[in-house]
């Protein structure tokens, strides 16, 4: 919806217990948190045009699905204060790691396009079977589309790293510091930040540990200063930071 704040991300591992489910629509009267409203309903009430991301939906308590069925059926929820919250202008996305083990262990035989396509089709069929075993039919029947993603390739991992490091460049540009990442360091982070089980999620931690933390220390110590050009590279498997002093601009001499 053209606004980063329009993304409502909810970690469903926080709703594994029955008593935690009420937090989505708000605690009942007389309970702690009643005045705060629901973590889901309050956000949508204030921003009705939103994308709702329910991360790792398979970890949620079964009672959560009763709430989802109401949203998918009626397009609204009633919070703990009796207010009807409209969900008709939201996009609901649910992620799941069901079948991740099968995806990780599955190995394609050969390198042809037809073989890869057949491999993915077989994996998709197996994962859909796992979804049927894990979720109630009435929920699956109300989902418009189920997408099974391919394994991430090296070029895709590099793109993820480049997107994440772009944010660092933008922040340092506000301090008039020009930041450049070499191809080698992008490859290094992509390789060290990828995990066969968790995918690209560890990349964020790798960037923070190997790039953001050293940059912060260099800024605090004065090693990197206003107006400098900084190159982030790699050497022998380690991240390197090199600063280049920028010569002050000479004022034009008036005739």
Residues 190-213 pLDDT 10s: 998 887 667 788 899 999 999 999
Residue 74 placed within a domain = yes
Residue 110 placed within a domain = no
pLDDT at 30: 66
Residue 100 placed within a domain = no
Please indicate, yes or no, whether residues 87 and 170 belong to a single structural domain of this protein: no
Rounded CA-CA distance 13/11 in Å is: 5
| Tens digits of residue pLDDT in 133-169 | 899 999 999 999 998 887 788 899 999 999 999 999 9
Please indicate, yes or no, whether residues 170 and 240 belong to a single structural domain of this protein: yes
**Containing domain of residue 87, as a range?**
4-95
Please indicate, yes or no, whether residues 164 and 83 belong to a single structural domain of this protein: no
Residue 213 placed within a domain = yes
Residue 131 placed within a domain = no
Kindly report the length of the chain: 255
Domain closes at, from 28, 61, 95: 95
Residue 125 placed within a domain = no
Half-sphere exposure of 45 (CA within 13 A, CB side): 19
Domain closes at, from 74, 95, 116: 95
How many percent of the chain have pLDDT more than 90? 55
Residue 44 placed within a domain = yes
Rounded CA-CA distance 3/49 in Å is: 10
Residue 146 placed within a domain = no
CB 203 within 8 A of CB 194: yes
Rounded CA-CA distance 17/59 in Å is: 10
CB atoms within 10 A of CB 194: 19
Smallest CA-to-CA distance from 119 within 150, 147, 146 is with: 150
pLDDT at 103: 59
Q: What is the CATH number of the domain that holds 217?
A: 1.10.8.60
Q: What is the CATH number of the domain that holds 84?
A: 3.40.50.300
pLDDT at 113: 43
How many domains would you assign to the chain? 2
């Amino acid at each position: 919806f053209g606004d980063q704040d329009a993304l409502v991300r909810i970690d469903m591992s926080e709703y594994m217990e029955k008593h935690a489910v009420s937090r989505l629509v708000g605690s009942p009267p007389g309970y702690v948190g009643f005045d705060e409203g629901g973590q889901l309903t309050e956000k949508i009430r204030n921003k009705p045009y939103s994308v709702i991301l329910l991360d790792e939906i398979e970890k949620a308590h079964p009672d959560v699905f009763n709430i989802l069925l109401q949203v998918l059926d009626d397009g609204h929820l009633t919070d703990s204060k009796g207010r009807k919250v409209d969900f008709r202008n939201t996009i609901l996305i649910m992620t799941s790691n069901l079948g991740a083990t099968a995806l990780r262990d599955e190995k394609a035989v050969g390198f042809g396009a037809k073989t890869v396509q057949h491999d993915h089709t077989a994996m998709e069929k197996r994962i859909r079977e796992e979804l049927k075993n894990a979720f109630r039919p009435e929920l699956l029947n109300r989902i418009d589309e189920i997408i099974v993603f391919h394994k991430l390739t090296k070029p895709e991992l590099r793109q993820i790293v480049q997107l994440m490091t772009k944010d660092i460049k933008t922040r340092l540009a506000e301090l008039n510091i020009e930041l450049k990442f070499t191809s080698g360091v992008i490859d290094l982070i992509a390789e060290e930040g990828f995990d066969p089980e968790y995918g690209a999620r560890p990349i964020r931690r790798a960037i923070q540990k190997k790039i953001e933390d050293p940059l912060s220390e260099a800024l605090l110590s004065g090693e990197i200063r206003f107006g400098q050009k900084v190159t982030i590279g790699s050497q022998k498997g380690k991240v390197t930071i090199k600063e280049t002093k920028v010569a002050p601009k000479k004022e034009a001499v008036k005739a």
